[in-house]
Structure 1
Amino acid sequence: MSADPSTRRGIPDATVARLPEYLRALHSFSDDGIASVSSEDLAVATGVGSAKVRKDLSYLGSYGIRGVGYDVDHLAYQISFALGLTHEWAVAIVGMGNLGRALAAYRGFATKGFRIVGLLDQDTRLHGQVVAGLPVRPMADLAGLVGEGLAIGVIATPAESAQDVCDQLVSVGVRSILNFAPTVLATPPSVVVRKVDLSTELQILAFHEQRKAGRAVTLAEVSS
């Protein structure tokens, strides 16, 4: 995998995390036939303050034009380039349970520059089954997929299997991993792991719902 353009440009991680939101908003503006937008427009569309929008976009070398704003298509290209989306990335999903199958069937990957090249599972009973047009393959096929350009591994296994799967991905040269398993993975510094924990996100939402409803309680009240 070539060096990430965002790394070469020294873009902070917090800014990188917001770039996909800007890109989504820009695509929406483009679909509506809007040719230029202001930082305030992007702020409203993404929920990010306009000053922070301007600061984030300055890392891309894009400052807009006073009284005109940002060219929608050009800014979308700049963000796509920074995110490494100006070419296609090959992805393999490991774990063909309900979550893995749902991810395999998600059509949004193709439109965002990601191509599913392999579906894998350690369960031999699943090998050969066709999911979303692709056969489920054994883990032994990982090395061959890397030789064909596999760049990103998605772990959709139970927690108890995730570290073993991660180790296998790393051992064949995969350096970018998206982890849906509810566990923390141990990896070398050269490997980038992004964790998606749905239960954690729901718990955070529960906290905010409780606070909005004025139902916050003290530990003393819980214990009584």
Structure 2
Amino acid sequence: MKFFKVPEPTIMRLSLYSRILEQLEERGVPIISSVELGDAVGINSGVVRKDLSMFGEFGVRGVGYNVRELRDNIRKLLGQDRNWPVIIVGAGHLGSSLAAYPGFRQRGFDVVALVDTDPEKIGSTIIDKIVVSWEEAEKLIKEHGVRMAILAVPADSVQAVAQQLTDLGIEAILNFSPIILKGPSKAQVQNVDLTVYFDLMRFTQNLNDNGLRPQASNVRGIAVR
């Protein structure tokens, strides 16, 4: 397989395809067309075919895609066929909630530990995760080969913590902190700001309240289950 730069929206849609195909597999559905898969995601079938054609020929013209084979191929593309160790930095309300989220384990992410600087939290257990100090975190990162981290720390410490993580070998950071993180050059960074989605909904509702009808959109976000 040739490796090349894949647009981020395509990768996000692959994740959606994966979830839908898993549900179809559980229901015993053997074949799905690009039209049906597109309808399930809320996009045009041409976008589905273009996305999948970037990685090879998966379907049969006039027949569709074998659900199990396509699911397995997308799982391999997304690395879902193996476990990925992760640490969560910040054992406050948000970090604790993220640690308790069962979807991480279901999608192949193994939360090794939570990291915090508060002496009262270090050594405690949240769900089944131990809160550790930075010194212990460094050992765990090396021991488990952790390359990904989730940030749930106060805004004023995000940048410094991100740099500290990359110094320890972290290559990808998912930032839930209330600030846009400009990641270190060696790290891949994804900023998650839930208020953006609330603003999107609020904008639509505001238009409705003022008697305006926004243009219909089939774009769907990635659901959390």
Report the TM-score when normalising by structure 2. Answer: 0.88
Give the unaligned 5+ runs of structure 1: 217-224
- Pick aligned residue for 1:78 from 68, 73, 77: 73
Alpha-carbon distance in structure 2 between the residues aligned to 1:137 and 1:184: 26
After superposition, the Cα gap between the structure-2 partners of 1:77 and 1:128, relative to the gap in structure 1 and judged at 3 Å, is same
Residue pairs, 1:32-71, within 5 angstroms: 32-71=27-66
Match of 2:192 in 1: 196
Match of 1:102 in 2: 97
Give the unaligned 5+ runs of structure 2: 213-225
Alpha-carbon distance in structure 2 between the residues aligned to 1:20 and 1:204: 22
Match of 1:8 in 2: 3
1:124 paired with 2:119, answer yes
After superposition, the Cα gap between the structure-2 partners of 1:188 and 1:165, relative to the gap in structure 1 and judged at 3 Å, is closer
8 Å contact kept, 1:9–1:59: no
RMSD between aligned residues: 1.7
- Pick aligned residue for 1:160 from 121, 145, 156: 156
SS in 1 for 2:120: helix
Alpha-carbon distance in structure 2 between the residues aligned to 1:213 and 1:33: 44
Match of 2:180 in 1: 184
SS in 2 for 1:193: strand
Alpha-carbon distance in structure 2 between the residues aligned to 1:121 and 1:58: 44
Match of 1:169 in 2: 165
Residue pairs, 1:87-98, within 5 angstroms: 87-98=82-93
After superposition, the Cα gap between the structure-2 partners of 1:190 and 1:127, relative to the gap in structure 1 and judged at 3 Å, is same
The aligned amino acid for 1:130 is: T
Alpha-carbon distance in structure 1 between the residues aligned to 2:57 and 2:83: 24
The aligned amino acid for 1:181 is: S
Q: Which has the higher helix share?
A: 1
Report the TM-score when normalising by structure 1. Answer: 0.88
Match of 2:223 in 1: none
SS in 1 for 2:39: helix
After superposition, the Cα gap between the structure-2 partners of 1:213 and 1:64, relative to the gap in structure 1 and judged at 3 Å, is farther
SS in 1 for 2:60: coil
State the Cα deviation string for residues 104-153 of structure 1 (Å, max 9, x = none): 11111111111011111111110111101121101222321221211210
8 Å contact kept, 1:91–1:114: yes
Q: Which stretches of structure 1, 4 residues or longer, exceed 6 Å deviation after superposition? A: none
Alpha-carbon distance in structure 2 between the residues aligned to 1:37 and 1:9: 27
> Aligned pair count?
211
8 Å contact kept, 2:115–2:131: yes
